[in-house]
């Protein structure tokens, strides 16, 4: 059974897939810069996915794993809520990376996060 995590922004700003893609690109950039400082290809291990868009997909895209340990993470927007889905064939590595990415996106989007296990994390300012 697929598992989902949900990010609900607490601001009035509307979500867009382009903004989410730019945040993921930013994540790839900062992890690769960390790798440069360490003289190690950390970026390939920190983000072992390639971003794939289908022409017919209007409100979703997916991350395709670059090796056998990571397969697929699907990301889409429904009713101004970002949904991160792990399909049935996802690995433990996919779930760990999806948790990490959802927390990163929640901090950047200032969104409340419902994790895959149903627990809530609030990233709003108090």
Say if 57 falls within a structural domain: yes
Mean pLDDT (the chain) is 89
Say if 16 falls within a structural domain: yes
Say if 107 falls within a structural domain: yes
d(CA 21, CA 18): 5
Please tell me the predicted confidence (pLDDT) of residue 36: 80
Task: State the DSSP H helix or E strand holding residue 8, giving kind and residue range, or none if neither.
Answer: strand 3-9
From residue 16, give the alpha-carbon distance in Å to each of 3, 55, 66, 112: 22, 17, 25, 16
Say if 43 falls within a structural domain: yes
Say if 65 falls within a structural domain: yes
Please tell me the predicted confidence (pLDDT) of residue 8: 92
Say if 94 falls within a structural domain: yes
Q: Which tens digit of pLDDT belongs to each residue from 57-104?
A: 778 999 999 988 899 999 999 988 999 999 999 999 999 999 999 999
State the SS3 of 28-84. Answer: HHHHHHHHHHHCCCHHHHHCCEEEECCCCCCCEEEEEECCCCCCEEEEEEECCEEEE
Which domain CATH number covers 42?
A: 3.30.310.120
Q: Which tens digit of pLDDT belongs to each residue from 4-55?
A: 999 998 888 888 999 999 999 999 898 888 878 877 777 778 889 999 987 7
Say if 75 falls within a structural domain: yes
Domain extent, residue 32, equals: 3-118
Please tell me the predicted confidence (pLDDT) of residue 126: 59
Say if 58 falls within a structural domain: yes
Please tell me the predicted confidence (pLDDT) of residue 11: 82
How many separate domains does the chain show?
1
Tokens 């920190």: give the residue.
46
DSSP classification of residue 13: P
d(CA 35, CA 46): 9
């Amino acid at each position: 059974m697929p598992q989902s995590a949900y990010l609900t922004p607490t601001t009035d700003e509307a979500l867009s897939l382009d903004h989410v893609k730019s945040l993921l690109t930013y994540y790839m950039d900062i992890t690769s810069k960390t790798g440069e400082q360490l003289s190690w290809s950390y970026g390939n291990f920190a983000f072992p996915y390639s971003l794939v868009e289908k022409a017919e997909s209007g409100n979703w895209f997916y991350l395709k794993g670059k090796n056998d340990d990571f397969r697929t993470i699907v990301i889409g927007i429904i009713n101004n809520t970002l949904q991160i889905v792990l399909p049935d064939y996802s690995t433990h590595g996919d779930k760990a990376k999806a948790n990490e990415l959802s927390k990163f996106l929640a901090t950047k989007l200032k969104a409340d996060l419902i994790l895959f296990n149903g627990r809530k994390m609030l990233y709003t300012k108090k």
